[in-house]
Amino acid sequence: MNNEQETSKKEKDAKQRKQKKDVQTPMNRWKIAFLILVGTIIASLAFIFVRITQVREPNYKPVPELVAKEGTPVIAIQSNKKQVNALIDFFLSDFQKDSDINYKFYLENEAMLNGTFEVLGYPIEFNLYFDPFVMNDGNVQLKAKSLSIGTLGLPIKEILKFVQRDYKLPSWVEVNPDDSTILLRLDQFRMQNGLFIRAEKINLVDDDIRMNIYLPKDTSSKED
């Protein structure tokens, strides 16, 4: 009798252990899957941060000093956002035709830079918004004010570093990540016969954009 009771108790204990194991197995699998998911997310975020902030040999060019050009305004241009956007689109399409990374820049009620960078082989799109300011020297400063990049919380400074390092930019475009600005160096923008351009007014809300084309001082003096 005792043997039968002992055998029955062992069978009961074995059954309980099996049931407990069966309950724990799915829980363990879910726990492992959750940890893998968390690890993947952390690794992806770390990769993004390293990819953007990594130090590589940048394509820095010597920044020319500001040139205080003197001349006579010969053509006053009053334009609007639609016309300027068409000009920008035409210029960038030609400028980036041999580039692996393309971006767009256009004007709405604020200036916007639209681009992408890759994370684990997948493109991540961003929109960087600027307020434009006309400088006293006729150049245009774009002050970054906000960034849209999905759910990623990356600072504007790091995106500008990425743009400065990896994007093909015109020689007269100067990116300054530390103060979150892009300077359009119109004093370095080359035109035929020495003509140069200066911004006079940019009011995107009222759709009023004005620039002047200048005849160089030495050329105008010869004609006098």
- What domain range is 74 assigned to? 69-223
Using DSSP's 3-state secondary structure scheme, residue 143 falls into: strand
Distances (CA, A) of 190 to 29, 132, 213: 65, 21, 12
Query: For the chain, what is the domain count?
Result: 2
Q: What is the pLDDT of residues 2-41, one digit of tens each?
A: 555 555 555 555 555 555 555 455 556 666 655 555 555 5
Residue 58 lies in a domain: no
Residue carrying structure tokens 């002992």: 6
Judgement on whether residues 48 and 83 belong to the same structural domain of the protein: no
Q: Angle at CA 174, nearest 5°, toward 60 and 204?
A: 160
Cα–Cα distance between 214 and 224 in angstroms, integer?
Answer: 16
Q: Which of 210, 175, 212 is nearest to 191 (CA)?
A: 212
Cα–Cα distance between 114 and 209 in angstroms, integer?
Answer: 21
Residue 8 lies in a domain: no
Q: Which helix (H) or strand (E) holds 113?
A: strand 111-119
Judgement on whether residues 88 and 41 belong to the same structural domain of the protein: no
Residue 105 lies in a domain: yes
Cα–Cα distance between 144 and 160 in angstroms, integer?
Answer: 9
Q: What is the pLDDT of residues 91-136, one digit of tens each?
A: 999 999 888 889 999 999 999 999 988 777 778 899 999 999 999 9
Judgement on whether residues 130 and 219 belong to the same structural domain of the protein: yes
Residue 1 lies in a domain: no
